[in-house]
A and B are shown apart, each in its own frame.
Chain A
Amino acid sequence: MDEKASELSREGREPGEAALAVEAWFVREVLPLEAILMHFLRHNWRDQSDIEDLRQDVYIRVCEAAFKQIPETAKAFVLATARNLLIDRVRRGNVVPIDAVADLDTLGAAIEAPSADQHLIAREELERLQIALDQLPQRCREVVVMRRIEERSGREIATRMGISEATVWEYLADGVLALADILYGEQKPHRRRRP
């Protein structure tokens, strides 16, 4: 399957099966490392406004590689990819001062750091989700609660909150973004578009 995938990816498209395998690997092995990855990036890159773009580039690189062959040990691979990306960035950008990459030796420590347990038992997962929910901005949380826990329709949520249905879906989208940051990156959600 890997061979077939790499062959087709050279033509610019992958068979659905390979994409599914990469997605499954990415969700199961890579996303649980996000907190460690973000920690590593933040500590080794001066301009914090680049961090989200760096994270995306790391993910793209590891998934590109995974389309050819799924790496055996995700953690070492993800962090090595992150380090190479930072080095590339420093080389490429002449204006970036040399100490932008502070201390890449922390790579070893990052690899040693315990990963989030991927096999949380149901109750622990539920608690984690509740904690994440509590951290959402209020309006987002209301929408997510009404949608996910109470299973209300968009129209019902709109009526109850006194907002338009379109706004409900905007809050939901914001909620999805923030939940991913909290659940994977273990970050506080930052305020976005809407107050």
Chain B
Amino acid sequence: MSARDIEMRAAAWIARREQAELNSEDVAAFDAWLAESLAHRVAYWRLNAAWSRTKRLAALRAPEDRKSAEAGSHFRRIFGRAAAGVVVIAALSAGTAFLLMRSHTQTFATALGGQRTVKLADGSQIELNTDTVLRLAIDVHSRTVWLDRGEAFFQVRHDASRPFTVISDNRSVTDLGTSFTVRRDATALKIVVVQGRVLFDMAEPTRSPTLLMEGDTAVATTSSLSVTKRTIRQLADDTAWRRGVLVFDRVTLGDAAMEFNRYNREKLVIVDEKVAQRTIGATFPIHDVEQFVDVTQDVLGLHAVKHGDQIVISR
């Protein structure tokens, strides 16, 4: 058995212990494995020491992470506003003080279909949509977010002395008192300004930064930038994912399927171009692919066939 094989066994034991309290049978099996050879014990000591060190990471818990935010709202219901203040202060001393003192990058991520809210100590809030990775660095002079992948909604507590900037590749969006979403996919960067204004910088020497106003939707590719104005209702539709739904208003089936596929492992496939061009108007829960398929069958009279993780929709 190689050192790696032994380590993998030791790591599996540590994972097993994380999963649930070991029962007496497990404990006996684990002890027997440890007693088999010093190699087993040394491998376990080493991995266990590393894993124990990571306990300290709990100090990084975002001050009002989704989990504690839920607890917080519960708290508020019971004790009112004063108690909520106490919760925030307690969270501050645990992790945020460190964030405020020095700039350090923190990574936040969601998996496919996941969503997550990160509340910052300054009152700003970031909502991560599905399959998103972003990094956050905050110090006394600046607040910077790198959107490495996916989409996020930013509700920024404006502070001119501490600009809030979202960077994607070399392009940046700087808050001027606002809330906005930034979505990054393979070909384009899309910015929706829900409230206030932002400054969008493509970082091209020939192009000066663009001021985007409330309701503006900007789509930037490597070579172009187009800005359209959205109505309040359209803005609500664009950010409906924050409420856990997808809103389609005269959207083609092809686009709707693509949108669903961002959130779910089961992928909708529409091969027939004519079918893909048909439009729908409906609201669906983000994870309810089934309901979408039902609508295409019952309302549009299309057929859906399931192949493993794919659902093929056709005439």
Interface residues of A (CB under 8 A from B): 13, 19, 23, 26-27, 31, 52-53, 55-56, 59-60, 63-64, 122-123, 125-127, 129-130, 133-134, 138, 141-142, 144-145, 147-152, 154, 160-162, 165, 169-170, 172-174, 176-177, 179-180, 183-184
Contact = CB atoms under 8 A, between A and B. Distances in A.
A173 B41 contact: no
A162 B109 CA distance: 14
Contact of B56 (A19, A122, A154, A161): A122
Given A60-B42, A177-B47, A184-B50, A133 B57 contact: yes
Given A60-B38, A169-B18, A127 B2 contact: no
A114 B4 CA distance: 28
A31 B59 CA distance: 24
B54 A126 contact: no
Contacts of B264: 162
B15 interface: yes
Contact of A179 (B2, B50, B110, B133): B50
B237 interface: no
Contacts, number: 137
Given A13-B35, A63-B42, A150-B67, A53 B3 contact: yes
Given A161-B111, A176-B14, A177-B7, A31 B49 contact: yes
A129 B56 contact: yes
A63 B38 contact: yes
Given A26-B42, A56-B6, A142 B109 contact: yes
A27 B4 CA distance: 19
A161 B112 contact: yes
Given A59-B42, A170-B15, A52 B111 contact: no
Nearest to A144: B54
Chain A CB within 10 A, most for which of B39, B65, B111, B113: B111
B107 A160 contact: no
B3 A126 contact: no
B60 A26 contact: no
Given A134-B107, A161-B114, A162-B113, A149 B58 contact: yes
Interface of B: 2-4, 6-8, 11-12, 14-16, 18-19, 35, 38-39, 41-43, 45-47, 49-51, 53-61, 65, 67, 98, 104-107, 109-114, 133, 264-265
A139 to B, nearest CB: 8
A63 B44 CA distance: 13
A125 to B, nearest CB: 6
B72 to A, nearest CB: 15
24 contacts: A19-B41, A23-B45, A31-B46, A52-B7, A56-B43, A63-B41, A63-B42, A126-B57, A126-B59, A141-B107, A141-B109, A160-B113, A161-B114, A162-B112, A169-B12, A169-B15, A173-B14, A173-B15, A176-B15, A177-B47, A179-B51, A180-B7, A183-B53, A184-B46
A125 B38 contact: no
A125 B50 CA distance: 12
Contacts of B39: 56, 60
A24 to B, nearest CB: 9
Contacts of A129: 53-54, 56-57
Contact of A125 (B12, B53, B61): B53
B42 A56 contact: yes
A142 B15 CA distance: 15
Nearest to A128: B53
A180 B47 contact: yes
Contacts of B51: 176, 179-180
Nearest to B55: A148
A142 B14 contact: no
A145 B112 CA distance: 16
B111 A142 contact: yes
A169 B107 contact: no
Contact of B111 (A63, A122, A133, A160): A160
A134 B8 CA distance: 21
A31 B54 CA distance: 15
B308 to A, nearest CB: 15
A126 B12 contact: no
Contacts of B61: 149-151
A174 to B, nearest CB: 7
Contacts of B55: 148
Given A162-B265, A180-B47, A184-B50, 9 more contacts: A56-B6, A126-B60, A134-B107, A138-B109, A144-B54, A148-B57, A149-B58, A177-B7, A179-B53
